[in-house]
């Protein structure tokens, strides 16, 4: 039976990359299927982590739609969204009931929960936790206090205590919808996307009109490239609770740019639950959008997508060591070689190149990366023209930094720049190939009607796996980041999420993930550097085997460093990186539009 798992194996230098049989591919990267729901659509997508042929429950979306009749609500305790709720009852429906409720005194427990929620929604997470603890001192049987604590702990970047609080809420009230949603939010942060999806889906299908359940589903769908369903769920969440700052903030970015600017100005004029850094990022993003709107500018591909092929350039760390591969890029009157980095968003260049290329400064913006030093000073600018081979982009943002970013090069170029194409990074043959993506099926009449009702979904589509791409591996996308389900040391282990990062020199693993399967020791001789300098805590993991897609690789003394900051910024647990030293052995194809990748080993 072992031969069914390993059909051939090769070793290049000290790196062994082995292929498993096609029958083992599901175990490597596709957790079990889950039924999913989306409001207002009778055709639900295949489950986010399932095989393309998985069946779905179309009845689920019918009961969850905004205009559909709903089943009786799931067991529910006060959400503290409104003072008209009782500790163990549902909100009153209808204007008459609301008028009666408004005249009645608010029960003390509801007032206390509302107060704690207000603290949470204005970013005072420590005070919110204290308020929930005060509730539990006098009424320890209130599970909603633990639900609120779980969310506040997540905001404090403390997923361990968040899990404890959510578990306590479920222990106290196993059928409480809000407790299941809170646990789903914790699962999502832990990188357990399938488990999170189950919690959110079950709540929505049971008819509980919980706005956070639809927010959770939206996040799952966005990560899984079901963008249409994601926005439908976010619309539903916003309809149910437009005052939730987490929902409102994400909903704003589904609107047209003009609408987004107006809504973001309103959002930033009030109190929110953002920390100082996030609020500053939103403010600078607003400035950038306003500048684009005023200039009538949009980053766009010049002409229709067309096939092109250019050489991959070797990027050297020093005369003896290969750092990665890059692309020759022309920006205005300047030429440069930029490191091809699937872990980078768009273009990142140094100030010298930006000035030579005529990049127009828009707003000051520091840049953060791996390393323990402060963010690097820089700004966001606009490049009028960016050419790679026969492909040209116009009016695109460029991140500019003061320092030289890449040894032997002039900056970084993220592969997500080419998301209109099927991106083929053929490392063995040193070719970078772009071809148009397969055409998607036409919109149905239902889709067209949906687009008229919800304008922000009109142009959006869900993941489409074309017949010629049936062997591609579904992945999760978080913005520009590509996360692939990876099992560590056991093909049957629960999957973890590793980032596909051509800009990282080699494979790495977080100490937390490594300690579960092997010995981890500090390594003072190891030096790990990123854009933000040296990583203080470096480790080495004794014996690690990584299973991803239909390959596996055995490694000894694998580099290990904390991925906490990366995970916090991503919103889910990133347990490691698949880096250049291993990826250079394969021809890697990426479909950014549909969240799909394919790895093909070439025996050179």
Largest Cα–Cα distance in the chain? 79
Q: What are phi and psi for residue 542, nearest 5 degrees?
A: -55, -65
CA nearest neighbour of 219 among 210, 230, 207? 230
User: Which of these ranges, 103-112, 280-289, 303-312, 323-332, has the smallest mean pLDDT?
Assistant: 103-112
As a whole number of angstroms, the distance between CA 281 and CA 285 comes to 6
Residue 375's pLDDT band (boundaries 50, 70, 90)? confident
| DSSP output for 210-253 | -HHHHHHHHHHHHHTT-HHHHHHHHHHHHHH-TT-HHHHHHHHT
- Which pLDDT does position 96 carry in this prediction? 38
Burial 57-81 (b: 16+ CB within 10 A, else e): beebbbbbbeeeeeeeebbbbbbbb
Mean pLDDT of the chain: 83
Is a pLDDT exceeding 80 seen at residue 24? no
Fold matches, 2-29+471-601 and 308-436: yes
Q: How many CB atoms lie within 10 A of CB 395?
A: 17
Is a pLDDT exceeding 50 seen at residue 347? yes
Is a pLDDT exceeding 90 seen at residue 16? no
Q: 308-436: which CATH number, 3.40.50.300, 2.40.70.10, 3.40.718.10, 1.10.287.1770?
A: 2.40.70.10
Helices (H) and strands (E) in the chain, counts: 20, 27
Mean pLDDT of 185-198: 98
- Which pLDDT does position 594 carry in this prediction? 98
CATH of domain 2-29+471-601: 2.40.70.10
Query: What residues have CB less than 8 Å from 197, skipping those under 6 apart?
Result: 34, 36, 47, 48, 49, 184, 217, 220
Residue 408's pLDDT band (boundaries 50, 70, 90)? low
- Which pLDDT does position 184 carry in this prediction? 98
**Which stretches within 23-138 are classed as H helix?**
25-29, 58-64, 95-103, 108-121, 125-138
More confident residue, 262 or 55: 262
Please answer whether residues 18 and 552 qualify as being in contact, where contact means their C-beta atoms are separated by less than 8 angstroms.
yes
Is a pLDDT exceeding 50 seen at residue 85? no
Q: How far is CA 36 from the centre of its chain?
A: 18
- The most confident of the ranges 74-88, 340-354, 513-527 is 340-354
The pair of structure tokens assigned to 387 is 């050419």
Domain boundaries, the chain: 2-29+471-601, 308-436
């Amino acid at each position: 039976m072992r031969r069914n798992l390993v059909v051939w194996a090769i070793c290049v230098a000290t790196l062994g990359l082995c292929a498993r049989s096609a029958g083992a591919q599901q175990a490597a990267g596709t957790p079990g299927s889950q039924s999913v729901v989306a409001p207002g659509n009778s055709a639900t997508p295949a489950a986010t982590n399932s095989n393309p042929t998985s069946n779905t429950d179309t009845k689920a979306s019918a009961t969850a739609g905004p205009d559909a009749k709903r089943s009786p609500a799931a067991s529910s305790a006060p959400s503290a969204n409104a003072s008209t709720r009782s500790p163990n009852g549902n909100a009153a429906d209808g204007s008459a009931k609301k008028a009666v409720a408004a005249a009645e005194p608010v029960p003390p427990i509801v007032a206390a929960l509302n107060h704690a929620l207000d603290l949470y929604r204005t970013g005072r997470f420590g005070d919110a936790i204290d308020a929930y603890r005060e509730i539990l001192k006098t009424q320890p049987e209130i599970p909603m206090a633990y639900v609120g604590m779980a969310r506040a702990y997540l905001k404090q970047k403390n997923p361990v205590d968040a899990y404890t609080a959510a578990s306590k809420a479920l222990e106290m009230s196993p059928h409480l919808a809000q407790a299941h949603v809170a646990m789903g939010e914790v699962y999502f942060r832990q990188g357990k996307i399938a488990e999170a999806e189950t919690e959110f889906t079950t709540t929505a299908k049971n008819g509980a009109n919980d706005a956070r359940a639809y927010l959770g589903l939206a996040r799952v769908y966005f990560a899984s490239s079901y963008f249409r369903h994601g926005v439908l769920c976010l619309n539903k969440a916003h309809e149910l609770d437009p005052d939730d700052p987490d929902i409102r903030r994400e909903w704003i970015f589904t609107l047209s740019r003009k609408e987004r600017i107006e809504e973001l100005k309103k959002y930033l004029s009030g109190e929110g639950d953002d920390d100082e850094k996030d609020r500053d990022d939103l403010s600078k993003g607003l400035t950038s959008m306003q500048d684009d709107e005023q200039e009538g500018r949009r980053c766009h591909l010049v002409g229709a997508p067309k096939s092109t092929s250019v050489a991959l350039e070797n990027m050297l760390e020093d005369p003896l060591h290969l750092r990665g591969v890059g692309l020759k890029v022309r920006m205005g009157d300047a030429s440069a070689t930029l490191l091809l980095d699937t872990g980078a968003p768009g273009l990142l260049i140094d100030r010298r190149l930006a000035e030579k290329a005529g990049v127009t400064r828009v707003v000051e913006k520091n840049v953060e990366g791996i390393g323990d030093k402060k963010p690097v000073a820089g700004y966001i600018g606009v490049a009028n023209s960016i050419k790679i081979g026969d492909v040209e982009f116009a009016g695109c943002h460029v991140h500019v930094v003061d320092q030289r970013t890449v040894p032997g090069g002039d900056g970084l170029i993220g592969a997500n720049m080419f998301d209109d194409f099927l991106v083929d990074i053929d490392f063995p043959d040193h070719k970078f190939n772009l071809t148009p993506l397969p055409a998607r099926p036409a919109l149905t009449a239902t889709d067209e009607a949906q687009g008229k009702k919800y304008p922000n979904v009109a142009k959006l589509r869900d993941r489409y796996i074309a017949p010629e791409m049936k062997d591609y591996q579904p992945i999760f996308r978080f913005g520009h980041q590509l996360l692939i389900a990876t099992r560590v040391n056991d093909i049957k282990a629960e999957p973890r999420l590793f980032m596909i990062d051509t800009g990282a020199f080699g494979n790495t693993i977080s100490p937390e993930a490594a300690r579960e399967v092997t010995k981890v020791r500090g390594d003072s001789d190891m030096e790990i550097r990123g854009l933000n300098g040296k990583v203080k805590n470096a480790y080495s993991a004794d014996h690690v085997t990584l299973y991803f897609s239909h390959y596996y690789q055995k490694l000894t003394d694998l580099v290990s460093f904390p991925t906490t900051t990366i995970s916090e910024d991503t919103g889910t647990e990133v347990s490691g990186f698949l880096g250049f030293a291993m990826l250079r052995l394969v021809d890697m194809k990426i479909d950014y539009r549909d969240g799909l990748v394919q790895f093909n080993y070439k025996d050179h």
